[in-house]
Amino acid sequence: MQLAPMQAALTAAYVFHTLFAGLWVGAVVLTAWKVLPLAKDGDVTPELLGGVAAGVSLITRIGAVVFVATGGHMAATVYGAEGLFAPPRGHVVLTMLTLWLVMTGLVEVGGSKIRSALDEGKVRTAARDAGTFYNAAAVVGFVLLVLGGYLAA
Ligand code: HEM
């Protein structure tokens, strides 16, 4: 491959990776910080809570494809197999990969708790059951962005 198309693909990978990082963590933090506490107080309709949870799940699932594709491309191009196991930056990338898995799991479990409680029409229960998972996911997301900032510097 020529250098210019390779460089363009790498730039696109960085752009989409950073874009989804902000979008995903932002959506999860706002849900954990504002939407779920309001829902716990019964100030949110089932439709709104269901819509927010569905939106966060959608971003998580599209994000899974985007993170694996772009992160994998960046890791292969910039680090290679050896670089990934070299401290400190390689280890930070591997930690990022692990935390992405953890955060995805937390959001998926939180989303399924919301869906099953909403099936019975229980908004407060949905928010209570999912709260811990979304809070933990928001903290993991924060750590992921800190690691991203470290790698970007
Ligand atoms: C499959 C999971 C992931 C893999 C394999 C991965 C891999 C990578 C790699 C290889 C880099 C480039 C490092 C460098 O330039 O030295 C990077 C940068 C970055 N990653 Fe990830 N990543 C993943 C998931 C995530 C997630 C879930 C977030 C945040 C929600 C995130 C946020 C960032 C940020 C903000 C950067 C810095 C971009 C820049 O240099 O401008 N990554 N990641």
Distance CA 111, CA 27 (A): 13
CB 75 within 8 A of CB 91: no
Cβ of 145 below 6 Å from ligand 1? yes
Regarding the beta carbon of 110 and ligand 1, being less than 6 Å apart is answered no
User: Is 134's C-beta closer than 6 angstroms to any atom of ligand 1?
Assistant: no
Residue 29's pLDDT is: 98
Provide the greatest CA pair distance for the chain. Answer: 58
Q: Which atom of ligand 1 lies at the shortest distance from residue 89's CA?
A: 16
Res 1: pLDDT: 57
Distance from the alpha carbon of residue 150 to the mean position of ligand 1, in angstroms: 10
State pLDDT tens for residues 3-61: 788 899 999 999 999 999 999 999 999 999 999 999 999 999 999 999 999 999 999 99
Token pair listed for 140: 């993991």
